[in-house]
Structure formats: C-alpha cells, structure tokens
Amino acid sequence: MFNTDTNPMMGNGQMRSNNTADIINDSQTQNKLKLPPLLESDQETSTDIFYTLTTQSGTTAFKDGPLTETYGYNGSYLGPILRIRKGQNVHLTTINKLNENTSFHWHGLKIPSNVDGGPHSPIQPDGTATVDFTVMQEAATLWFHPHPEGLTGEQVYNGLAGLIYIEDENSDALDLPKDYGVNDFPIIIQDRFFDENNQFNYEDIRNINGTQGDTLLVNGTISPYIEVKNEQIRLRLVNGSNARNYQFKLSNEEFFSQIASDGGFLNEPIQMDTLQLVPGERAEIAIDLSDYKNGDTLQLMDGNAEVLSIKIVEEIDPDGIPLPKTLNDISTNFDNVSVPDKEMTFSGMGNMVAIDGKQFDMNRINLRAKKGITEIWEITNLNAMMSGMIHPFHLHGVQFKVLDRNGEIPPLNEQGWKDTIALYPGETVRIEVEFSKEGIFMYHCHILEHEDNGMMGQIIVE
Ligand code: C2O
Ligand code: CU
Ligand code: CU
C-alpha cells in the first residue's frame, strides 16, 4: 500500500506547496456539479470521426450578482469532452472566434508536432485550422487548452480548457464505473479570484510565479455536489489551475484507489489516502461507497478546503463491487542505470525562470532526439530545497515513465504513463522518453505564468 509518508520528497507527511492564496470556504449554498457536454461528432464512420471546436468569449454565471466575462470552447466557459478511440482517424476543425490569437494544444496526445497546437501554430481571430491524426495510444483522460506564445496563462484562466477521453478494448472490457455523470465524473479543478464585479481581471491579478485564486471551481461550479448510489464511483481529476497544487483526500481520511495516471491505467488500483496533483497533471480515482447509507455525505477535500460534496441518495449495493485487480500491463526497468542521454535543469522563480539557464526563444532548438529511440533524461530542479518552488515538468508528444526521484523508485501511483510531473525543489528525477512522431515539441513548466515567462524549450525529433 502506498502511503504518502513514505515518499522521500514529502518528509514528515507535509507535502510542499507553491500555493500563495488561501481558499475561502464561505459559500452557503451548494450547487449541482456542472457536467461538460459530451461533444457530438459532425460525422462518424467505422474508421473516422469528425469534430468541430470553436473558441469564443461570453459570460458565465458562477455566483450571485453580475455575470463573469469568460472564454470557452463551444460555450462560454471550459469546453466539451472529445471522445476518441485508439486506432481511430480523428479530424478536428478548430475555429477561433476570439479577438486575439490562440492555438489548440492536445495535452498528452502522441501526435506529430504539426498538429500538436503549440506556439508554432497560432490561429488568428476568425481563423480556422484542421487537425488530422490517428489515435496511437491507450485509453486515458487527456485535456486540451490554448498554447499561444505568452498568452497561455490568460486564456486558460479565462476559461479555455476541455477534456479528451480515449477509449480502447482494454477500457471497454474493464469492469469500472463508466456511466457518465452517474458514477463516472470529469472533475476539472481550478481556482479563481472574483473582483467586486465578479470579474476575473487576469491582467490585474496576474502573478509572475503563477496566478491563483481564493475560490475553487469544479467544472466551473462553486461548492459543487454530486448525487450518487452507494457504489464505486470514478472521478477523473484534472488539475486545470494555472499554478495551484492540490493535495486531495477524503473528509473521513479513508482510502481511495488511484486507477489511472496522466497517460492511462496503472497496472493495478493503488490505495491512497492523499494524492497530490500539480498543474496539468491528471489522475483517475475510484471511491468505494458501499459502506455508506442513503443520506450520508462525504467530501473530497484539498487540505482543509472542500472540493466536492458526494451525497449518497440511493442504496443498491450492500456488499460492494471490487475493482478489477489488473488494469494494465506496463513494464518498467527502474534499475536502468545507463548514463543519461540528456540532462536538464529547471531554475529560478518569477521573471528569472529558465531551463538550462535559457529562456524560451522560438528561433532556438534546444535539444535533438531520434524517433523510436528510448532515452533517459535527468531533470533537476535547482531551486533551494527549503525555499524554492515545485516546477511541474511537462513534455509534449509523448507519454513517459518515471525511473526514479532522487535515486528512489517513484511511488506506485507514478509507476504508469506520465506527461506531467512535479519537480520538487532540489530534486533530480530520471525519466524514460521515446518519441514516436517527428517534429518540434515543447517541454516546459506547467505553471502557466512560468511558461509564458520563458520556462520552455524545444526539442526536434528526426
Ligand atoms: Cu498542457 Cu505545453 O501544455
Ligand atoms: Cu502539452
Ligand atoms: Cu515553474
């Protein structure tokens, strides 16, 4: 069993945090959790699927009083869920109806760089682009968000983010909760400040070390609740915040099971009592509610702040349904001691953030790699152990494996496919990376203001 106390980076059980603003829990009323729509395809054949996504500005009712000016995909805030399958040919029409450039980045997809939607692929106002790719990876919960140079933090904060669900034969066969909005919930967690007119006002509150807020939103809902039966429920947790780290636990301090990491299912469910997610990171968890009775409630917490209230409103399952014992078949050679192929440093804070001492330059290729060749990368966060920041490392175009953290085998819940990981201050992490597609891919800190400030580099894969 994985207990967070055994993680060397978490010392006496106190996980480090970059968080600067406290979450206020002052809401009197609870609101039913909003569920992003499952996007209807424009067209679907036995091999291909077609979707259209449009960025737009609008207004959203989050709380009493004035509406908030926001951005969204096919709506006023956040976006729909794109459902795609392994092996499927996907065709996305992307349209920008904002008054500024944007781009459509598919975070976690193993696709060629010309459709990856990074800063090289801006779409002008009223512009459109089509994206075609084949899904070459297993079932997972991924997400999409804008990535225009220097504007990512603002556009995500204003509301641009959506989810991608990949399914495959394994996910079809596994006996897991999969009834959307009934026992399988998308949980996009964000934090926002509302000014006296209920506006986000990103320009004014922008923080060079990551813009945070004092109000939690789940799928754009303040103080959300869900109503469920006393069965296993599945929460697909997505840290969609610009900069806040979350430490999830249940209000009764009971265990839950992590079943998937960023890029797919873990080999087996991992029992956890605390789960940290840094910006950009995802995890799917299952909570066994079979011991609960009609009328009981349980809260998903971030430290002392309530994230989601889970209300049991129907009893069906006095004995409980166990999770499958085996979910996936990922083998990793944690003992691989080969000399690293690449060494990389993350350093600085605020405007001084850099990778390998350099700030992002669109005209500079920082690294090179060969398609289909496995490499070991050794990544060090040079920030001082006691006072520095956690930098969330993210790499485009691949799912990678963590080999070790400061020489220790990673915790069980990180022994699966990852595209985003915490780099703790002073820590060195080794990962195993293999690109399957050619082109220029970004790697960066997923604190979006660090990314916008230049904590990003480019690798060319040939
Ligand atoms: Cu989720 Cu380059 O980003
Ligand atoms: Cu990405
Ligand atoms: Cu950073």
Residue 100 placed within a domain: yes
Which CATH number does the domain housing residue 351 bear?
A: 2.60.40.420
> Which ligand is in closest contact with the Cα of 445?
3
109 and 223 assigned to the same domain: no
Tens-binned pLDDT, residue by residue, of the chain (462 aa) = 333 333 444 433 345 689 988 999 877 799 999 999 999 999 999 999 999 999 999 999 999 999 999 999 999 999 999 999 999 999 999 999 999 999 999 999 999 999 999 999 999 999 999 999 999 999 999 999 999 999 999 999 999 999 999 999 999 999 999 999 999 999 999 999 999 999 999 999 999 999 999 999 999 999 999 999 999 999 999 999 999 999 999 999 999 999 999 999 999 999 999 999 999 999 999 999 999 999 999 999 999 999 999 999 999 966 778 999 999 999 999 988 889 999 999 999 999 999 999 999 999 999 999 999 999 999 999 999 888 999 999 999 999 999 999 999 999 999 999 999 999 999 999 999 999 999 999 999 999 999 999 999 999 999
Residue 65 placed within a domain: yes
What is residue 16's predicted lDDT score, i.e. its pLDDT? Answer: 67
132 neighbors 79 (Cβ within 8 angstroms) = no
Query: Which atom of ligand 1 is found nearest the CA of 107?
Result: 1
234 and 305 assigned to the same domain: yes
212 and 157 assigned to the same domain: no
148 within ligand 1 shell (Cβ under 6 A): no
Query: What separation in angstroms does the CA of 75 have from each of 95, 356, 385?
Result: 13, 40, 43
349 and 408 assigned to the same domain: yes
167 and 239 assigned to the same domain: no
358 and 449 assigned to the same domain: yes
- Side-by-side strand order, sheet with 428-433: 354-355, 342-347, 375-381, 428-433, 401-405
In this structure, the residue with its CA closest to atom 1 of ligand 1 is 107
Residue 7 placed within a domain: no
268 and 354 assigned to the same domain: no
* Dihedral angle, C-alpha 249, 250, 253, 259, nearest 10 °: -70
244 within ligand 1 shell (Cβ under 6 A): no
Domain that holds residue 254: 175-314
For the chain, give me the number of helices (H) and strands (E)? Answer: 4, 31
296 and 405 assigned to the same domain: no
**Which of residues 141, 157, 173 is at a domain's end?**
173
What is residue 15's predicted lDDT score, i.e. its pLDDT? Answer: 57
Residue 321 placed within a domain: no
Does the predicted model carry a pTM greater than 0.90? yes
201 and 167 assigned to the same domain: no
55 and 81 assigned to the same domain: yes
What is residue 353's predicted lDDT score, i.e. its pLDDT? Answer: 97
Q: How far is the CA of 55 from the centre of ligand 1 (A)?
A: 17
What is residue 11's predicted lDDT score, i.e. its pLDDT? Answer: 39
Residue 19 placed within a domain: no
457 within ligand 1 shell (Cβ under 6 A): no
In this structure, the residue with its CA closest to atom 3 of ligand 1 is 107
> Which ligand is in closest contact with the Cα of 243?
3
298 and 181 assigned to the same domain: yes
Residue 328 placed within a domain: no
What is residue 2's predicted lDDT score, i.e. its pLDDT? Answer: 36
97 neighbors 73 (Cβ within 8 angstroms) = no
Query: Which atom of ligand 1 is found nearest the CA of 145?
Result: 1
179 and 169 assigned to the same domain: no
Query: Which atom of ligand 1 is found nearest the CA of 143?
Result: 1
**Which of residues 173, 208, 241 is at a domain's end?**
173
What is residue 28's predicted lDDT score, i.e. its pLDDT? Answer: 77
Structural domain tally of the chain?
3
Backbone angles phi and psi of 53, in degrees to 5? -125, 130
Q: How far is the CA of 442 from the centre of ligand 2 (A)?
A: 8
What is residue 26's predicted lDDT score, i.e. its pLDDT? Answer: 75
Q: How far is the CA of 375 from the centre of ligand 3 (A)?
A: 23
Spell out the long-range contacts of 63-69 with Cβ–Cβ below 8 A and sequence spacing 24 or more: 63/194, 63/198, 63/222, 65/197, 65/198, 66/197, 66/198, 66/199, 67/198, 68/194, 68/198, 68/199, 68/200, 69/158, 69/199, 69/200
145 within ligand 1 shell (Cβ under 6 A): yes
Residue 331 placed within a domain: no
Could you tell me whether strands 31-32 and 224-229 are parallel, antiparallel, or unpaired per DSSP bridges? parallel
Q: How far is the CA of 409 from the centre of ligand 2 (A)?
A: 25
**Which of residues 121, 153, 173 is at a domain's end?**
173
> Which ligand is in closest contact with the Cα of 18?
3
